[in-house]
Amino acid sequence: MRTPIIAGNWKMHKTIAEAIALVREMRRELNEIEGVEKVLCPPFTALAAVAELIRTTQIKLGAQDMHWEDQGAFTGAISPLMLKELCQYVIIGHSERRQYFGETDEGVNRKVKAALKHGLTPIICVGENLAQNEAGQTEAIVSAQVRAALQGLTAAQVKSLVIAYEPIWAIGTGKPATGSGANAIIGQVVRGTVSSLFGESAAQALRIQYGGSVSPESIAEFMTQPEIDGALVGGASLSAAKFVAITRIAAQSKQQGAKNRT
């Protein structure tokens, strides 16, 4: 059984002082939740402070992006060498990076390889926009993104990483996909594509999250689905109460879903 993973993507929010306050507010309750992996992804400036706060807990740390080179004349960039001292995870290819910063499928692939080389676990984001969804292109777009991101990897490497299916039309809109709809895309398209490339064993070992307007009210609908292994949480991760609630409900729902299928 795949261990569910709930990751909070803070995006461009929280000063160092605000990050410390938020983590202190949620740390104890979040750490006590069993049966689910917990990951916080603050901005680069707060990584060191958050790392120290969660050092003795079960909570993991992730960055929101990174460059693929180890070092060099890349002003403003952060390398995997800089992150590996602090983080266990790194988000790669988020739709906002693709949309606003020119992230390409080739760049995503290079970042994934660099992360794995340095012992960081990538959370690879894939997903279609509203126009693509309405045009019936979801399967083609998502499958192509998965293929591009994983190009040149081994089955063993694929088993160790995380993919987040984030329909772009659901991010920040308050209108999440349905649980059954997300489950179908994750199972048939994302996991199906991985199976065709790397075999069924790799596909079944791979953890795949849902992301897009996740809330305490909607998380159970996703976590009871058999193909969904967690969530990449945006806005709700900026609230200690909401993120703890999402994580707790996720753990309970996944356990109940597993019981119902046995």
- Summarised one tens digit per residue, pLDDT across range 45-78 is 999 999 999 999 999 999 999 999 999 999 999 9
Which tokens go with 95? 């739709």
d(CA 40, CA 145): 25
Residue 261: predicted pLDDT = 66
Single out the residue of 165, 159, 199 nearest to residue 184, CA to CA: 165
d(CA 164, CA 228): 10
**Domain CATH code at residue 219:** 3.20.20.70
d(CA 41, CA 9): 5
Active-site residue set: 94, 166
What are the residue ranges in the chain where pLDDT is below 70? Answer: 261-262
pLDDT tens figures, 25-45: 999 999 999 999 999 999 999
Residue 109: predicted pLDDT = 98
Q: For residue 27, what are the CA distances in angstroms to 125, 191, 252? A: 26, 33, 19
Contact of 47 with 95, CB cutoff 8 Å: no
Which tokens go with 184? 């179908």
* Owner of token pair 């909401």: 242
Q: Residue 2's CB: how many other CB atoms inside 10 A?
A: 14
Residue 262: predicted pLDDT = 64
Residue 170: predicted pLDDT = 87
The DSSP bridge pattern shows strands 89-92 and 121-126 to be parallel
Q: Which domain holds residue 25?
A: 5-261
Residue 1: predicted pLDDT = 84
Contact of 140 with 100, CB cutoff 8 Å: no
3-state SS of 52-96 is HHCCCCCCEEEECCCCCCCCCCCCCCCCHHHHCCCCCEEEECCHH
Q: State how many domains the chain has.
A: 1
φ, ψ of residue 110 in degrees (nearest 5): -65, -40
Q: Residue 32's CB: how many other CB atoms inside 10 A?
A: 11
Residue 193: predicted pLDDT = 98
Alpha helix ranges (H) inside the chain = 16-32, 47-53, 80-83, 95-101, 105-117, 130-134, 138-149, 155-160, 179-184, 191-198, 200-205, 219-223, 240-261
Give the contacts of 101 (CB within 8 A, at least 6 positions apart): none
Measured in whole angstroms, how far is the alpha carbon of residue 7 from the centre of its chain? 6
